[in-house]
Structure 1
Amino acid sequence: MVPRHRLSARPPMRGAIQPVTLAVVVIVAALAVAAWFLIIRPYQAAMSTQDAASAVASRPARTRDAPLANVDALSVDQLLTEARTAMNEQRLVAPKGNNAFEFYMKVLQKQPGNPVAADALRETFSYGAAATEQTINQRDFNEAQREIDLLAKADPENYTLTILRSKLDAQRKTLDREQQQAVDAQKAQQLAQQNAANAARQRAEEQAAEAQRQQAARDQAARVAQQQQAPKPATAAVPTRPAATESEAITDAVLVNQVKPRYPTAALRANQEGWVDVELTVGTDGAVSNVTVTDAQPRHVFDRSAIDAVSKWEFKPATRNGEPMAVTLRRRLQFNLGR
């Protein structure tokens, strides 16, 4: 019993590590590692990303859509950096000289078989094709053709190129058809306007002709009224003059100067033909008066021309027993084309 007591009462050796202290050390170390992975490392990564973004934003030498000044002078790493930046900014195949596909292809020129560039081109081909399809739909045909050619350099056997070329051709044909339809519509509008102008001009001419006919009728009525109001000749006032007998010698009025009627412009344009029956009075001096239309076919088309022409006719007056006398005659004027 005595030796056991002495063993338990032995003091701890100097320099020995107590279990509680060891546990505390382990816990502190674990907390430090956790703080590194959960706090410090993410913060450093965020700061690095922010610094990089600030550096990109503060570049004064080139805008987003401007091509690089000298792509051939860039190293492979620089080209990959530019390509990743273009990918992040959705510049897959455009603009020309400043897009991800051209940067990756330049990497393959400098370093054939570069896995990063080859994998990127293969994985993003469908996205580049989608961007090219959007360019086709916007009808920027020259840019769309350039993007298709760029995709063909990346993967010339891809069937998507056939689809894109077909869509580009269809859009071009659609645009040509729309432009042709616009031209046809413009021509149709011009033709309609010309026809309307011709119809308006024809109506104006017909209205003018009708106005002239009405004025001539009014003038003729005024002349008739004046003749009715004028004093009758002395021969007519003699009530004791005997009536004509069978022994009296009467000669008919003879036309000595016939003026041909003018063919109306509207009838000439419409290829119309017809005739006009007129009644006229030949005076003792052979002059024509009281010209009136008794019948016509078609009506009101050739009337004015017939009246104007007949009014200018000259006759050798009719006579009774050698003395001139006034007579009333009827004549038909034919209006025929080509005669």
Structure 2
Amino acid sequence: MDNRHRIPSRHCARGAVNPVTLTVIAIVLALAVAAWFLIIKPYRDANAGVTPATAAATKPGATRDTPANVDALSTDQLLAEARTAMNEQRLVAPAGNNAFEFYMKVLQKQPGNPVAADALRETFSYGAAATEQTINQRDFTEAQREIDLLAKADPENYTLTILRSKLDAQRKTLDREQQQALDAQKAQQLAQQNATSAAKLLAEQQASAAAEAQRQQAAREQAARVAQQQPAAAAAPVAAAPRPAARAATDESISEAVLIRQVNPRYPTAAMRANQEGWVDVEMTVGADGTVGNVSVVDAQPKHVFDRSAIDAVSKWEFKPASRNGEAISVTLRRRLQFNLGR
């Protein structure tokens, strides 16, 4: 038998596509497309805004502006805004443009909406974490708003109690820190004032000491001049015929005033408390009757601390008056009163 013409026919039959196979393939493709549009895509769209892992992994981009009229948006539009906010990690902030508020609006328009209800329940912990960050940043007004928003979503959630406690603790901590800073500032100002007062007092003491040193130096120079003049006067020739007036001046008898009644000064209470000591130089007029008048402070150390006490005491002193040729006269005296605590 000649099979040369039958072999090519068998090859053609073997390479032909069965119509049944084509029909099955077409049906499978149609079912796949239908499943995509009717099942998979709606499910992914419905759950895209409620997947915490996706929201946490997505980096926040540019925040969209708040819709002009949120109340006028439809349920689908609100869900779309909520999904966008979730992707940008705007869970509870900013006010009016966050996922929680959009989902709450959905529930207002359509109570029991499963997508919004599930999203609020599943993302509550993430919203609470965002609110805790706001508390740690010490934006207390914003933190209170976010806590109130979470309370609307799940008022019985125990996390709200924790957040409120943390907010109260942070407020108290801030108040304490502000009070400590204020106290430190007052202490610094007081220290500066004390340093200024001490420097001023030291300058006054130094000036007084310098004046006293000058006075003592002048007294020493005066004593030296008097000492130099006395030998010269002794070596001078005696006048042959001294005038009567000179003899009268030589014959004058002068006695100094003698203190017969001294009143000790009262130690000032303020100086005693401050443990202060010092002295006062006073000048007085002792009258012909031995009484004291015209008492004034010439110098003092420290200034204006013991002046009044010294004047009051000296004014009560009594003297045996000075005299010239047996006749009482008024004289001016200077005395120093010491004020010591007697340790």
TM-score range, shorter chain: 0.5 to 0.7
What count of residue pairs does the alignment treat as equivalent?
256
> Is the Cα–Cα contact under 8 Å of residues 275 and 332 in structure 1 kept in the other structure?
yes
Q: Which residue is equivalent to 2:217?
A: 218
Residue number among 13, 18, 29 corresponding to 2:13 in the alignment:
18
**Matched position secondary structure for 1:225:** helix
Offset of 1:18 from its aligned partner?
A: 3.1
Give the whole-Å Cα distance in 2 for the aligned partners of 1:223 and 1:105: 103
Cα displacement string for residues 20-63 of structure 1 (whole angstroms, at most 9, x for unaligned residues): 313699599969x89xx8xxx9xxx9xxx9xxxxxxxxxxxxx7
TM-aligned CA distance change 1:215 to 1:65, over 3 Å? farther
Give the whole-Å Cα distance in 1 for the aligned partners of 2:68 and 2:76: 17
**Matched position secondary structure for 1:230:** helix
Give the whole-Å Cα distance in 1 for the aligned partners of 2:159 and 2:339: 76
- 2:225 corresponds to 1:230: no
> Is the Cα–Cα contact under 8 Å of residues 279 and 302 in structure 2 kept in the other structure?
no
- What one-letter code is carried by the residue in structure 2 that aligns with 1:170? A
Q: Which residue is equivalent to 1:158?
A: 157
> Is the Cα–Cα contact under 8 Å of residues 92 and 130 in structure 2 kept in the other structure?
yes
RMSD: 5.1
Q: Which residue is equivalent to 2:195?
A: 196
Q: Which residue is equivalent to 2:114?
A: 115
Q: Which residue is equivalent to 2:73?
A: 74
Q: Which residue is equivalent to 2:177?
A: 178
TM-aligned CA distance change 1:122 to 1:272, over 3 Å? closer
TM-aligned CA distance change 1:333 to 1:156, over 3 Å? closer
Q: Which residue is equivalent to 2:255?
A: 252
Give the whole-Å Cα distance in 2 for the aligned partners of 1:141 and 1:276: 64
Q: Which residue is equivalent to 1:187?
A: 186
**Matched position secondary structure for 1:91:** coil
Offset of 1:67 from its aligned partner?
A: 2.5
> Is the Cα–Cα contact under 8 Å of residues 82 and 100 in structure 2 kept in the other structure?
yes
- What one-letter code is carried by the residue in structure 1 that aligns with 2:17? L
Q: Which residue is equivalent to 1:149?
A: 148
Offset of 1:74 from its aligned partner?
A: 0.1
Point out where structure 2 has 5 or more consecutive residues left out of the alignment.
46-61, 239-250, 260-265, 283-300, 315-319, 328-332
Point out where structure 1 has 5 or more consecutive residues left out of the alignment.
50-62, 240-247, 257-262, 279-299, 324-328
Give the whole-Å Cα distance in 2 for the aligned partners of 1:217 and 1:268: 29
TM-aligned CA distance change 1:140 to 1:272, over 3 Å? closer
Offset of 1:218 from its aligned partner?
A: 0.8
- 2:167 corresponds to 1:168: yes
- What one-letter code is carried by the residue in structure 2 that aligns with 1:202? L
- What one-letter code is carried by the residue in structure 2 that aligns with 1:136? I
- What one-letter code is carried by the residue in structure 2 that aligns with 1:254? A
> Is the Cα–Cα contact under 8 Å of residues 128 and 150 in structure 2 kept in the other structure?
yes
Offset of 1:64 from its aligned partner?
A: 2.1
TM-aligned CA distance change 1:215 to 1:27, over 3 Å? farther
**Matched position secondary structure for 2:17:** helix
- What one-letter code is carried by the residue in structure 2 that aligns with 1:187? K
Offset of 1:132 from its aligned partner?
A: 0.4
Alignment of structure 1 residues 318-333 onto 2, 5 Å? 333=337
Offset of 1:228 from its aligned partner?
A: 1.8
- What one-letter code is carried by the residue in structure 2 that aligns with 1:217? Q
TM-aligned CA distance change 1:164 to 1:185, over 3 Å? same
Cα displacement string for residues 55-104 of structure 1 (whole angstroms, at most 9, x for unaligned residues): xxxxxxxx726432110000000000000000000000000000000000
Give the whole-Å Cα distance in 1 for the aligned partners of 2:198 and 2:172: 38
**Matched position secondary structure for 2:67:** coil
Q: If the length of structure 1 is used for normalisation, what is the TM-score?
A: 0.60
> Is the Cα–Cα contact under 8 Å of residues 79 and 116 in structure 2 kept in the other structure?
yes
Alignment of structure 1 residues 265-304 onto 2, 5 Å? 272=276
Q: Which residue is equivalent to 1:103?
A: 102
TM-aligned CA distance change 1:19 to 1:205, over 3 Å? same
Alignment of structure 1 residues 122-141 onto 2, 5 Å? 122-141=121-140
**Matched position secondary structure for 2:112:** coil
Q: Which residue is equivalent to 1:243?
A: none
Give the whole-Å Cα distance in 1 for the aligned partners of 2:103 and 2:334: 104
> Is the Cα–Cα contact under 8 Å of residues 90 and 98 in structure 2 kept in the other structure?
yes
> Is the Cα–Cα contact under 8 Å of residues 67 and 96 in structure 1 kept in the other structure?
no
> Is the Cα–Cα contact under 8 Å of residues 253 and 316 in structure 1 kept in the other structure?
yes
Give the whole-Å Cα distance in 2 for the aligned partners of 1:267 and 1:233: 50
TM-aligned CA distance change 1:205 to 1:24, over 3 Å? farther
- What one-letter code is carried by the residue in structure 1 that aligns with 2:212? R
Offset of 1:272 from its aligned partner?
A: 3.9
Q: If the length of structure 2 is used for normalisation, what is the TM-score?
A: 0.59
**Fraction of identical pairs, as percent:** 65
